[in-house]
């Protein structure tokens, strides 16, 4: 492909074109400022490629999502979460032997240092679980060497995957005042999480295989999504040389916002609000379209997908099956389907390519599993962890990585003369 040409102030400059394996095209503008003195302006980075990556491919126009070349539908149907975590981090699907080894290592690192329990005790019961999650993950760097050698980094990866499950469940137990339940090495990742969340020392807890499998599938669907807000945060923090735990902790904080991972909680709150308001979803579709009203249909729209989010398709189908098999009749599922139908028939949503995203139906499944609403975004974080790790590793090993440091166009005052305190006028 020809170089891209830009003409500025009678000067013509050329930029090499870079083409990905799926024919995505970018102009490499690394020399732009040096040659022209100008920079690009792209708030929200919607037109900016921050890296080359081999991990995840999304075609937002066609509704395609692949991890390392494998379609999300195949992975959700045939793989386990740890299988997918291995794929994302190490680049290929593991053999049986490799998966067994990975699984064994993870189960052996799932305990937390006993002193860390004191951290949970320091939080009020009302603490948002995402805040607890991010701070406890950050504090792991106080317990384990930050990972200067490849061996240390690898061990920290295992530690983090193993311990995040335990940290997430402990944060819930703390919030409801129940004793912490320790991990069990004979259980799979998702089943162990359910056991740590819902078992109590005073009676047996039987794991429902359907719920464990559904949770595992949900974790797979969330496992990576290329350069989204939290992943870009992980890469950005890591680009300064910060360790894995600190970088992932920052990613958890980024994920907590309602426009990102926090949307799954916001969807349920929205559906509940519509239900209590007599189920008048048309009213809320109109509110979402009104530019003077800040209300948005949560769980709708996506920066990259201008077609159905393929993850939402899998989750919607699963919600029907799982709720049916569990004998649960959730009025919010019917409401969600009606809202989706009304919105998809509406020109406002069609013209803007606003479709249900991953968060639209996931909360309904979490509810069916007994997971409380304030833990939904924590579930997203558990799922996204392997993606964050894979992207952090790729950033670290990429010889083109430089500290992430965007520029700006300054729009403030020009130089002003300093005014001594006694001479300053009150600002109107
Ligand atoms: N309801 C109503 N209008 C919407 C919505 C919505 N949910 N989303 C976007 N729009 C409109 C927006 O007002 C704008 O209209 P106009 O062109 O007339 O000004 C147009 O669609 C484009 O929206 P945008 O805000 O420029 O799009 P964006 O790419 O900056 O934002 C988004 C993407 C996901 C933040 C946004 O669609 C949104 O706020 N959705 C609701 C929150 C949500 O569900 N977030 C989860 C995203 S998926 C999981 C994840 O990444 O964590």
User: Which of 109, 222, 260, 302 is labelled catalytic?
Assistant: 302
- Would you call 359 a catalytic residue per the annotation? yes
Select from 14, 22, 30 the least CA-distant residue to 62: 22
Residue nearest to ligand 1 atom 17, measured at CA:
352
Query: Residue of the nearest CA to atom 24 in ligand 1?
Result: 303
Check if the beta carbon of residue 125 is closer than 8 Å to that of residue 178.
no
Across residues 402-424, what is the average pLDDT?
Answer: 97
Q: Which residues of 194-213 are buried (b: 16+ CB within 10 A; e: fewer)?
A: bbbbbbeeeeeeebbeebbb
Residue 64 scores a pLDDT above 90: yes
Amino acid 317: pLDDT = 93
Nearest CA to ligand 1 atom 28: 303
**CB 298 less than 6 A from any atom of ligand 1:** yes
Q: What is the pTM of this model?
A: 0.94
Question: Which among 137, 204, 150, 35 has a CA at the least distance from the CA of 382?
Answer: 137
> What's CA 344's distance to the chain center, in Å?
25
Decide: 352 in ligand 1 pocket, CB within 6 A.
yes
Fold classification of 71-256+375-397 (topology level): Citrate Synthase; domain 1 (1.10.580)
d(CA 338, CA 96): 43
Cα 151 to Cα 142, 147, 299, 302, 401, distances in angstroms: 18, 8, 40, 38, 21
The token pair at 359 is: 């968060």
Q: Domain limits of the chain?
A: 4-59, 71-256+375-397, 263-368
| b/e burial code for range 52-81 (CB count within 10 A of at least 16 → b) | ebebbbbeeeebbbbbbebebbebbeebbb
pLDDT tens figures, 280-295: 888 999 999 999 999 9
Atom of ligand 1 nearest to the CA of 300: 7
For residues 244-264, one letter each, b for 16 or more C-beta atoms within 10 angstroms of the residue's C-beta and e for the rest, the string is bbbbbbbbbbbbbebebbbbb
Query: What is each CA distance from 94 to 84, 86, 100, 163, in whole angstroms?
Result: 9, 7, 9, 21
Instruction: Give the pLDDT confidence score for residue 428 in this predicted structure.
Output: 65
Q: Is residue 302 annotated as a catalytic residue, yes or no?
A: yes
- Ligand 1 near 261 CB (within 6 A): yes
Assign 427 a pLDDT band (cuts: 50, 70, 90). Answer: confident
For helices 129-139 and 150-176, angle between their N-to-C axes, nearest 10 degrees: 150
CA of 302 to the centre of ligand 1 (A): 6
pLDDT number for residue 41: 97
Specify whether domain 263-368 bears CATH 3.30.300.30: no
Per DSSP, helices labelled H in 346-404 are: 347-351, 358-368, 376-397
Mean pLDDT in residue range 83-109: 97
| CATH number, span 4-59 | 2.20.28
């Amino acid at each position: 492909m020809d170089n891209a040409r830009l003409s500025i102030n009678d000067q013509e400059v050329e930029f090499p074109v870079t083409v990905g394996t799926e024919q995505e095209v970018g102009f490499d503008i690394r020399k732009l400022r040096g040659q022209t003195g100008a920079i690009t302006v792209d708030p929200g980075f919607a037109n900016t490629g921050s890296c080359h990556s081999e991990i995840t491919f999304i075609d937002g126009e066609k509704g395609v999502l692949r991890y390392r070349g494998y379609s999300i539908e195949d992975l959700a149907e045939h793989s386990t979460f740890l299988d997918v975590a291995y794929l994302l981090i190490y680049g290929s699907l593991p053999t049986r032997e490799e998966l067994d080894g990975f699984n064994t290592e993870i189960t052996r690192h799932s305990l937390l240092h006993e002193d860390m329990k004191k951290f949970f005790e320091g939080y009020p019961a009302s603490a948002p679980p995402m805040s607890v999650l991010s701070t406890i993950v950050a504090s792991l760097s106080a317990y384990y060497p930050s990972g200067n050698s490849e061996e240390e980094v690898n061990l920290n990866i295992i530690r983090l995957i193993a311990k995040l499950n335990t940290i997430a469940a402990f944060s819930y137990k703390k919030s409801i005042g129940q004793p912490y339940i320790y991990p069990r090495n004979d259980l799979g990742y998702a089943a162990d999480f359910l056991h740590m969340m819902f078992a109590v020392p005073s009676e047996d807890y039987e794991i429902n295989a359907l719920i464990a499998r559904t949770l595992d599938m949900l974790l797979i669907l969330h496992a990576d999504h290329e350069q989204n807000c939290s992943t870009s945060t992980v890469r950005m923090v890591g680009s300064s040389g910060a360790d894995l735990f600190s970088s992932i902790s920052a990613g958890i904080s980024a994920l907590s916002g309602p426009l990102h991972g926090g949307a799954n909680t916001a969807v349920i709150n929205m559906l509940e609000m519509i239900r209590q308001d007599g189920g008048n979803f048309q009213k809320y579709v109109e509110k979402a379209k009104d530019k003077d009203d800040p209300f948005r249909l949560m769980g709708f729209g996506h920066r990259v997908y201008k077609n159905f989010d393929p993850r939402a398709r899998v989750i919607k189908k699963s919600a029907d099956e799982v709720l049916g098999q569990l004998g649960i009749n959730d009025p919010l599922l019917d409401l969600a389907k009606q809202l989706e139908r009304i919105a998809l028939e509406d020109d406002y949503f069609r013209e803007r390519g606003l479709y249900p995203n991953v968060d639209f139906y996931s909360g309904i499944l979490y509810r069916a599993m007994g997971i409380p609403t304030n833990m939904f975004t924590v579930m997203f974080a558990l799922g996204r962890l392997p993606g964050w790790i894979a992207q952090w590793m790729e950033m670290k090993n990429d010889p083109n990585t430089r500290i992430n440091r965007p520029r700006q166009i300054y729009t403030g005052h020009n130089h002003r003369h300093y005014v001594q305190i006694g001479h300053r006028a009150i600002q109107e």
